[in-house]
Amino acid sequence: MKKVVIGMSGGVDSSVSAYLLKEQGYEVIGVTLNQHLEENSKDIEDAKKVCDKLGIIHKVVNIRKDFENIVIKYFLDGYKTGITPSPCIICDDEIKFKILFDIADKYKAEYVATGHYTSVEYSKIFSKYLLKSVHSIIKDQSYMLYRLSPDKLERLIFPLKSYSKQEIREIALKIGLEVYDKKDSQGVCFAKEGYKKFLKENLKDEIVKGNYIDKDGNILGQHEGYQLYTIGQRRGLGINLSKPVFITEIKPQTNEIVLGEFSELFTDKVELINYKFSVEYEKLENLELLARPRFSSTGFYGKLIKDKNKIYFKYNEENAHNAKGQHIVFFYDGFVVGGGEIK
């Protein structure tokens, strides 16, 4: 019997995933990664109940130290430098999957599974296994996992790849799982009361009021502290002008936020840093790729270009969805071929 370690968050997706794997004949080991301060959170209790009902082993692994040192630090540092961080991508890449594979190796499990809505398929074009987006772009989570290495992909199972969310809830109800109607998590898991409150609690005296200015340096009003805002933001600025304005630039050095018109956010080219490609760059350079510059984006077409050892993505048409710090992920024929952070 093949053995699989599955990440159990206590939600309906991972719970039904564990059930489906058991039905397929796997020996299933459920693992909950606890990044919270409480030893026995509701999510841990829910995961344990599901595992008990399914008759599978349940393990809880404390990851608080790594979570604080890597994810929380990255999140706070990001807002301190005026970018919009992507903590879930960093957490999946540097903590969650790393630990799940370590546990799988410890228990001699051939596979690792999660409740993500994505799939791993063999690409004949690139002659390797790659992540592939699922039927619904609204639920597709391949964007979040683009940094996973090919050797990990070959051992990954995503049981929900062909299901809709409604079908998953119906299965959970049918087999008697209490989490069948549990709400999906929204936003970042460590800032459930909003990222602004979390930043205020952690950055405290570092957050001081500063000026809103226009592109010519004219003062337009006051903001509550540059760390509390993101590029492209329109709502919640606390300022009334004669026309709609958006944040076009954040200046941490002077604690100033530049406001401008929506058109000023448009660009047809972005530079990539901290990039990672699952297909050799040379094979991608002349291909027209679909780029998703944020998780909620349906994508924009364009091409990768290299100039003086820097890598850029050139869009076919301008768009306004390119906040510094967000990750842009590239697809070809539905397969995830790479991505990077927007500089």
Q: Nearest Cα to 25, choosing from 69, 63, 48, 56?
A: 56
Class of residue 214 by CB neighbours under 10 A (exposed 0-12, middle 13-18, buried 19+): middle
Please give the structure tokens belonging to residue 265. 């956010």
At 197, the amino acid letter reads K
Please, where are the H alpha helices in 182-304?
Answer: 195-203, 281-284
CA dist., res. 296 & res. 162, Å (int): 20
Chain centroid to CA 55: 31
Nearest to 61 by CA among 9, 19, 113: 9
Q: At what angle do helices 195-203 and 73-80 cross, to 10 degrees?
A: 90
Annotated catalytic residue, options 61, 99, 175, 189: 189
88 an active-site residue? no
Structure tokens at 190: 């460590």
Which one from 71, 88, 89, 91 is the annotated catalytic residue? Answer: 91
Residue numbers annotated as active site: 91, 189
